[in-house]
Structure 1
Amino acid sequence: MKITFLGAARTVTGSCYLIEVGEKKMLVDCGMFQGSKLVKAFNEKEFLFNPGDIDAVVLTHAHVDHSGLLPKLVKEGFSGPIYCTKSTEELCSILLPDSAHIQESDAEFANRKGMRAGKKFVEPLFTVDDANRALKLFRVKDFGKEFTVIPGVRVILRVAGHILGSSFIEMTVTEGDKQTRLIFTGDIGQPNQPIIDDPSKLPPADFVITESTYGNRVHEAYDKEGELANIVNDTVERGGNVIIPAFAVGRTQVLLYYFQKLISEGKMPEVPIYVDSPMANRATAITLTNPEEYDEEARALYEMQGRRLVAMHNLRFTATAQESMAINDTPGPKIILSASGMADAGRILHHLKHNLWRKECSVVFAGFQAEGSLGRQIIDGTKKVKIMGETISVCAKIYNMKGFSAHADKEQLMAWYSAMPTSPKAFFVTHGEIDASLALADELGRKLGTATYVPHFGDTVEITGTEWQVHASEIVQAEPAALELKGYLQGMERDYLLQRSKIEQIVTRDASKADMVRKKMEKLRKYMEDLLKDI
């Protein structure tokens, strides 16, 4: 058996693992790369396999960094089954067509602009038709029930507790008289988060392919409900709006759950709450109609409120663009939740443009912000940002509420792995920025005494039973220039991380120097992106 790491390798997004067993091939996840232009450029590259040769896909969950390139896979020849849970299929039915619409719109805009400059015609990465064809290939499987994916490969989907429908994959591979047990974690949720069940216990495994999004961090133990109430109360007192860039799937529903709780307990005023995202509207509807995935507390509330999880009179869902634009013309303080969660696209840009410059307003980030995203720039303290072609001053109060993350942190992951009946032979640490992946790999090796490896893009591990061997990326080996550039960019990445840590120290002492360092960081990031364009 071979596993090739074709995404989320020393970066957070683009999860994709190619598994070869005999003559058969399958994928675990086929995600889109998100963040800076440097990272997004990978979406445009050809797959490092023939999509028509892939026999099946197993999908951990619906987030587009795990599912987003499935339409491209189908467009280029894949026609096999895509296995996932019921809620994952339902969420993908809104996420994939929406992503395709963005691809079509971006291509149309580029072509209108490019025609005037005499540039080549731009094809969308994939279309809505491609997304709909992909959705027809989905095959729903229940949690906890074993099924065969390809000959010799049996899979059980277990509760991952990340978002509705999310699973980690328990895989058993049989080759001749050799058997290998593997875990692909996908994204693992925090225990005790609202609405959905905690991650299931891990079964024995020989190898674990683990995420590491928060592999070098521990979520702060603080009263996040109290902080959320304080932010709302303070902003309302100033007469401003609370703007929340919220991921349409997962984060929006959790925030609504908390707002309902705080209002019912009299801890915050009943100001209008707008969910301004067609995708979030539909995702919320899916969440509200899948009570079988609720935890005990959510099920009790669901029954008490007449089989409704969220029942607030002040809650408004907007559908049209006209309704969205009218929100900022509505007098009085309000709460606006809008996608995207990293503020790099969607209606949230419109709301930031109208509120970010107002000192009476607040902007609350309640989730991970990838390198290069607008959200990351704002929480890193930049004083001006460009939104929809216009330079906007950052005068609103900025909050970064990390406690709302849907990802388990380092200690939670370590506790989860430490409870395994036996330690694996090795952990392959993926889906994290390089500092997070390396930190978690080091922690796993020291605390559990197991081998660890942080793969590069294109690396392959060959497994026979419980024996394993890593083969370095043939892509890099075949292109010495690429190897040189890779080392150079990694060196720049380390410098960038160092500068970022310096900012945290400087900003408390001298804001003018912090601005100077931030400008240098921005120049460094743009330089890295320009290098990629020249390849």
Structure 2
Amino acid sequence: MSLNATLKFLGAAERVTGSCYHIRLGKRNILLDCGMTQGESQIHDWQRFRFKFRPENIDVVILSHVHIDHSGLLPLLVAKGFSGKILCTKATKTLLPVLLKDSVFLYLKDLEWQNKRLARGGKPTLKPVMSAQDVDRVVELSEGYAYEQRVNPFPELELVFSDAGHVLGSAIVQLWLKRGQAMRHVVFSGDLGNPDTVLMRDPTPIKQADVVLMEGTYGDRNHKTVEDTLHELTLALDDAHASGGNVFIPAFALGRTQEILYYLGVLYHTGRLKQRLVFLDSPMASAITEVYNKSFMSLNKDDTRIMTEHHAENLAEFLPILRVTETVEESMAINRIAQGAIIIAGSGMCNGGRIVHHLKNNLWKSQNHIVFVGFQARGTLGRRLVDGEKNIRLFGQQMVVNAQIHTLGGFSAHAGQRELLAWARQIAGQPTFYLIHGERHALEALQTALADIDIHADIPVLGDRVDL
């Protein structure tokens, strides 16, 4: 009997964001992730977005982790008629309302601002495509499971989440698709973690598979060692101290922020941190850090040992000079501090959030330093700054870039090429590999490296459909 199953690539094909893959299994419809494509105009993207399927026909969404480029379209999916189950890990279920409420709140605020501009120009205003109530509905539909727990959403499907080691709750998704005697073992890597990343465990080895969807964000390079990267961070902080300025770190609220707080704590306790104030200027990152603190016992014991040696049971205790800002007024007050501060704020790619306001006030000052600690996707302000643009437009105003820009790739929570190859090599059964979640040049480099170890991999383009 034929399995009668197909896989369609609806997002994160030849690009890093917008993770979404549609599996049709007989009459069943399964989504792997439902993420946003991150770029310059989120309002424009939201308003014009159209799903390539009927949301009401989707039976189940299986979520690898909570990052917005993997989960951000869930409120819109619900608003357009989805009412099935959303399956994820327990930690992802806990984090889901935090990230999605923030994302929808920012969308509605930006839409309000956009509508004021349209009204002043005598143009029709835009209706919101989703609401905060849609986030509540997403949470109601979500079910959280432990790692390695076997789940049967319906008779034709068996599911296991394995630890991906990327961020809290991140998972490698293992699916067993069944029809009669026919069965296929499909593995979706999600975002594979960098083993050098602190706090997270290493990605789970997968013993066997028939089909593998593997991310390749950093398929074209290996990361520097943690020691080298921490040294680079220390030098950047020292430069900022010497030039009499502040340090601004655009950081993803989930994962990267907690890692940077940990490393700043290490520098503080070893006497290498010259700045005397660290601001966490992100209510969402603050809420997520609280979840990390409550999950202390499940984090990597080798990394948390130094915290317990300094009698710290959470990241705030480990970094006593940390100040958490909640209100807009507190955030604005930071800009009155001329020097000696480190400001961590979102969004990580500078395509929204409080970091953009800090850049508006500080990007043109040569004594300031901007430290990028994560991947910057094409089309984002962060990518333009990393690529060296010297004139940008912010809030309708042209601005010169005089601040010093630092890019520290070694802090990435994604596996580098070396780790991706090692993970793929362990999978028996001669599976078919599809490389996703990476820009074309990175995926081609990974494809070549896999071929060198006798693993053939295809690079699907957006909209490709394959028979499973």
The two structures have a TM-score, normalised by structure 2, of 0.94
**Structure 1 residue 329: Cα displacement:** 0.9
AA in 1 matched with 2:410? G
Q: Deviations over 1:58-80 (max 9, x none)?
A: 10000000000000111111111
**Residue number among 138, 142, 152 corresponding to 1:148 in the alignment:** 152
Q: Does 1:257 align with 2:274?
A: no
Q: CA separation in 1, counterparts of 2:449 and 2:179?
A: 32
Q: Does 1:444 align with 2:450?
A: yes
Which has the bigger relative contact order, CA under 8 A and spacing at least 6?
2
Q: Deviations over 1:348-390 (max 9, x none)?
A: 0111122211111111001101111111111111111112222
Q: Does 1:432 align with 2:438?
A: yes
Comparing 396-405 with 84-93, which one deviates more in the overlay? 84-93
4+ residue segments displaced more than 3 Å? 36-43, 301-304
Question: Do 1:277 and 1:319's aligned partners in 2 also have CA atoms closer than 8 Å?
Answer: yes
Question: Do 1:244 and 1:338's aligned partners in 2 also have CA atoms closer than 8 Å?
Answer: yes
AA in 2 matched with 1:245? P
**Residue number among 215, 235, 240 corresponding to 1:235 in the alignment:** 240
Question: Do 2:296 and 2:314's aligned partners in 1 also have CA atoms closer than 8 Å?
Answer: no
AA in 1 matched with 2:325? T
Q: 1:462 aligns to what?
A: 467
Q: Does 1:391 align with 2:398?
A: yes
Q: 2:423 aligns to what?
A: 416
Q: CA separation in 2, counterparts of 1:242 and 1:213?
A: 27
**Structure 1 residue 236: Cα displacement:** 1.1
**Residue number among 165, 169, 172 corresponding to 2:173 in the alignment:** 169
Q: 2:141 aligns to what?
A: 137
Q: 1:364 aligns to what?
A: 371
**Structure 1 residue 50: Cα displacement:** 1.2
**Structure 1 residue 433: Cα displacement:** 1.1
Question: Do 1:2 and 1:19's aligned partners in 2 also have CA atoms closer than 8 Å?
Answer: yes
Q: CA separation in 1, counterparts of 2:40 and 2:125?
A: 23
Comparing 439-448 with 331-340, which one deviates more in the overlay? 439-448
Question: Do 1:89 and 1:140's aligned partners in 2 also have CA atoms closer than 8 Å?
Answer: yes
SS in structure 1 of the partner of residue 286 of structure 2: helix
Percent of paired sites with the same residue: 39
Q: CA separation in 1, counterparts of 2:370 and 2:256?
A: 15
CA root-mean-square deviation = 1.8
> What stretches of structure 2 of length at least 5 have no aligned partner?
none
Q: CA separation in 2, counterparts of 1:358 and 1:238?
A: 11
Question: Do 1:12 and 1:432's aligned partners in 2 also have CA atoms closer than 8 Å?
Answer: yes
SS in structure 2 of the partner of residue 358 of structure 1: coil
Q: Does 1:180 align with 2:187?
A: no
Q: Deviations over 1:459-501 (max 9, x none)?
A: 11111xxxxxxxxxxxxxxxxxxxxxxxxxxxxxxxxxxxxxx
Q: Deviations over 1:238-295 (max 9, x none)?
A: 2110111111111111000000001101112251000001111111111111124311
SS in structure 1 of the partner of residue 453 of structure 2: helix
Q: Does 1:55 align with 2:59?
A: yes
Q: CA separation in 1, counterparts of 2:440 and 2:43?
A: 13
Q: 1:79 aligns to what?
A: 83
SS in structure 1 of the partner of residue 159 of structure 2: strand
**Residue number among 320, 324, 332 corresponding to 1:313 in the alignment:** 320
Comparing 125-134 with 281-290, which one deviates more in the overlay? 125-134
AA in 2 matched with 1:209? L
Question: Do 1:144 and 1:158's aligned partners in 2 also have CA atoms closer than 8 Å?
Answer: yes
SS in structure 2 of the partner of residue 192 of structure 1: coil
AA in 2 matched with 1:127? S
Q: CA separation in 2, counterparts of 1:270 and 1:45?
A: 44
**Structure 1 residue 161: Cα displacement:** 0.8
Question: Do 2:19 and 2:69's aligned partners in 1 also have CA atoms closer than 8 Å?
Answer: yes
The two structures have a TM-score, normalised by structure 1, of 0.83
Q: 2:96 aligns to what?
A: 92
CA gap of 1:40–1:414, structure 2 versus 1, over 3 A, is farther
CA gap of 1:36–1:113, structure 2 versus 1, over 3 A, is closer
Map 1:283-298 to 2 at 5 A: 283-298=288-303
**Structure 1 residue 446: Cα displacement:** 3.5
Q: Deviations over 1:434-477 (max 9, x none)?
A: 22222222322342233x221122211111xxxxxxxxxxxxxx
Q: CA separation in 2, counterparts of 1:460 and 1:39?
A: 29
**Structure 1 residue 15: Cα displacement:** 0.7
CA gap of 1:123–1:198, structure 2 versus 1, over 3 A, is same
Q: CA separation in 2, counterparts of 1:188 and 1:21?
A: 26
Q: CA separation in 2, counterparts of 1:260 and 1:91?
A: 24
Comparing 214-223 with 9-18, which one deviates more in the overlay? 214-223
CA gap of 1:37–1:324, structure 2 versus 1, over 3 A, is closer
Question: If each structure's helix is expressed as a fraction of its own residues, which one has the higher value?
Answer: 1
SS in structure 1 of the partner of residue 220 of structure 2: coil
Q: CA separation in 2, counterparts of 1:42 and 1:179?
A: 37
Comparing 105-114 with 334-343, which one deviates more in the overlay? 105-114
Q: 2:330 aligns to what?
A: 323
Map 1:350-361 to 2 at 5 A: 350-361=357-368
Question: Do 2:56 and 2:83's aligned partners in 1 also have CA atoms closer than 8 Å?
Answer: yes
Q: 1:517 aligns to what?
A: none
CA gap of 1:107–1:127, structure 2 versus 1, over 3 A, is same
Q: CA separation in 1, counterparts of 2:94 and 2:52?
A: 29
> What stretches of structure 1 of length at least 5 have no aligned partner?
464-535
